[in-house]
């Protein structure tokens, strides 16, 4: 196998996000339900025998040491692999949106390179490498929608009903660190349980980061107000700035402010690369 083309890296939505506390080291404890959606980046991989890791940007320019490059280097370091790779990255998922685009790219890179380089690492081994790259990377490696706890590393795969959504990304993005460092951030939500979430998966809870995000980025409020004018109840995903709503009817897209990026999406049943690494027996909880 010398190349892998058109490898998908799907985005996610946080159906809810509660902050339940903060550790002594400053990391926040959270609970969330992550849903995979069909808004994807696309990655290509060509084997290099010289050990060099290179990248070509096929849409907009990325930082030199973005998460795909860091993922490839981390996999090399963890395994001693002497192969290299040339990666092509076509970005579609917006940055600073709370949709996990960079983390998903890293996860798909780990799965693809595990195959391209013939490493045969298990899913759990890849998740350990991924966690060092970012808290959301293990979720995208898990292969399923997830009930997520801790600092993002405790993942229970779950089944979720297929649903349609509209996702609205304001022109401005948001810096996650600014939100989590804000003194007004709510950090004491009560601990939830999966059965409570299962009773109303699309309306459960709230996003504890949303109020701070609206203070920092007026575009979040503008997007929520546009959804409300469409008769939809919006919610921010992750640390924003994107917001989403369960799609119940056709939208008047002409009424949307021109600077917003709007996309109608479907949830995925599973990650497109599920099974690309040994699952090590992870079980899936149903919340249907």
* Residues with catalytic function: 12, 136
Contact 51, 82 (CB under 8 A): yes
**From the centroid of its chain, how far is CA 273?**
15
**CA distances, 43 to each of 12, 50, 54, 102 (Å):** 17, 21, 13, 12
Contact 20, 189 (CB under 8 A): yes
**CA distances, 132 to each of 49, 107, 128, 164, 287 (Å):** 26, 12, 7, 32, 29
Torsion angle, alpha carbons of 264, 108, 67, 136, to 10: 70
Structural Rg of the chain based on CA atoms:
19
């Amino acid at each position: 196998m010398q190349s892998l083309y058109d490898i998908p890296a799907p985005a996610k939505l946080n159906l809810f996000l509660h902050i339940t506390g903060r550790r002594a080291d400053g990391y926040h404890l959270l609970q969330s339900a992550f849903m995979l959606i069909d808004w994807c980046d696309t990655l290509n991989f060509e084997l290099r025998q010289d050990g060099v890791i290179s990248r070509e940007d096929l849409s907009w320019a990325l930082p030199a040491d973005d998460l795909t490059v860091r993922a490839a280097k981390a996999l090399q370091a963890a395994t001693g692999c002497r192969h290299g790779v040339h990666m092509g990255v076509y970005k579609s998922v917006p940055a600073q949106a709370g949709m996990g685009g960079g983390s998903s790219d890293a996860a798909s890179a780990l799965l693809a390179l595990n195959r391209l380089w013939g490493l045969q690492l298990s899913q759990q081994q890849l998740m350990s490498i991924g966690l060092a790259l970012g808290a959301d990377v293990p979720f995208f490696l898990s292969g399923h929608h997830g009930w997520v706890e801790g600092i993002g590393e405790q993942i229970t795969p779950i089944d979720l009903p297929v649903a349609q959504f509209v996702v609205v990304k304001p022109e401005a993005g948001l810096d996650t660190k600014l939100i989590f460092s804000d003194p007004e951030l709510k950090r004491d939500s009560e601990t939830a349980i999966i059965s409570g979430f299962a009773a109303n998966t699309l309306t459960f809870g709230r996003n504890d980061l949303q109020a701070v995000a609206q203070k920092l980025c007026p575009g979040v409020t503008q997007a929520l107000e546009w959804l409300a004018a469409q008769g939809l109840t919006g919610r921010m995903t992750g640390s924003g700035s994107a917001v989403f709503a369960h799609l119940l009817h056709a939208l008047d897209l002409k009424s949307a402010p021109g600077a917003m990026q709007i996309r109608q999406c479907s949830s995925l049943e599973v990650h497109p690369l599920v099974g690309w690494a040994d699952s090590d027996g992870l079980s899936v909880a149903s919340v249907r």
